[in-house]
Amino acid sequence: MAKPHVRNQPNRADLRDSLATLATERVSERHPDLDLLSTAELVGAMNEEDAVVATAVALASPAIAAAIDGIVGRMSTGGRLIYVGAGTAGRMGVIDASEAPPTFGTHPAQVLGVIAGGPFAIQAAVENAEDDDIAGASDLRMLGVSAADAVIGISASGRTPYVLGAIEYASSVGAFTAGISCNSQSDLSQAGDVAIDVVVGPEILTGSTRLKAGTAQKMVLNMLSTITMVRLGKTYLNLMVDMKATNEKLRARAERTVMLATHADAVDAARVLNAVDGSVKAAILVLLTDLEPPTAIQVLAAHSGFLREAIGAAPACGRTLHGC
């Protein structure tokens, strides 16, 4: 196997010393004798450590909001949201991307997770893959990343070569870029258009960034994808109205969502969903406005899928339970 290209690779001693400067690599002073604690004490200690994550994410809120606006700007004109990471960070991106189609009705190619080492690395460690910055750039080039897209790099350390290579390539072609790191002023923080620094501090198990850092990454990704989809009209009230009913649970949820939005009974919700080929948005529009199913679908399309706007444009909206 060819040795991966590594950017400006320091010798091992220098790398070891540089790791000591990272907040995510420091030794926690709160629980130095982890191996002496009882099971109950260990559970309490980990819960205590995890409690700091939400506060750290809150401190990054302005940057998270800026990243969302950048993503919405690209996706609203047909661009894609692409997450890039290695190891745990890469898996977090893949998880978030894979949930977008069933939750928000997106095409599978609209939100993507790219992980160093490829699909095999989702289930098994491919440790050397993260060191190859050229592979990061190459993987995005293969996806045809352009100025139309938004690319989010994820790296607890903020220095993963694969992620840096990907972000630098994305920036070079004009894509919107942001980096999620758990160390401030990292290389990743400085490489993208927006730096999302969620500094959670040392891990209870030194250097194990699948813990607090991984939790922080998941929380930020939840915000990026969910709020982006809210801004793109994928929700109505606080309901998932663009979901894809691809199994019995989701079909039941689709019916329940229609019932919650319109106060229709289960029979009417199921009947109208069937008439609009399962579109939750169209079913709600029909029940709230008395539009015929084909007309409701046309009105939705005319308003780019924004259900509230479609309701407001329908003549019967003044009679609806929720109004316009």
The catalytic position among 130, 168, 203, 255 is 130
The catalytic position among 25, 48, 49, 99 is 99
How high is the pLDDT of residue 16?
57
pLDDT tens digits for 111-148?
999 999 999 889 888 878 898 999 999 999 999 999 99
How high is the pLDDT of residue 14?
57
pTM above 0.85, yes or no: yes
Query: Which DSSP letter does residue 27 get?
Result: P
For this structure, is 49 an active site residue?
Answer: no
Percentage of the chain exceeding pLDDT 70: 91
Whole-angstrom Cα distance, residue 280 to residue 164?
Answer: 40
- Give yes or no for a contact between 31 and 208, defined as CB atoms under 8 angstroms apart: no
Q: What is the mean pLDDT of residues 278-299?
A: 95
pLDDT tens digits for 161-199?
999 999 999 999 999 999 999 999 999 999 999 999 999
- Give the start-to-end residue ranges of the domains of the chain: 12-231, 235-319
Whole-angstrom Cα distance, residue 320 to residue 314?
Answer: 11
- The residue type of 204 is I
pLDDT tens digits for 12-66?
565 555 666 788 888 888 889 999 999 999 999 999 999 999 999 999 999 999 9
For 12-231, the fitting CATH number among 2.170.150.20, 3.40.50.1000, 3.30.1330.10, 3.40.50.10490 is 3.40.50.10490
pLDDT tens digits for 192-221?
999 999 999 999 999 899 999 999 999 999
Helices (H), 147-201: 161-172, 187-191
How high is the pLDDT of residue 10?
56
For 235-319, the fitting CATH number among 2.40.50.100, 1.10.8.1080, 1.10.1060.10, 1.20.1260.10 is 1.10.8.1080
For this structure, is 130 an active site residue?
Answer: yes
How high is the pLDDT of residue 314?
82
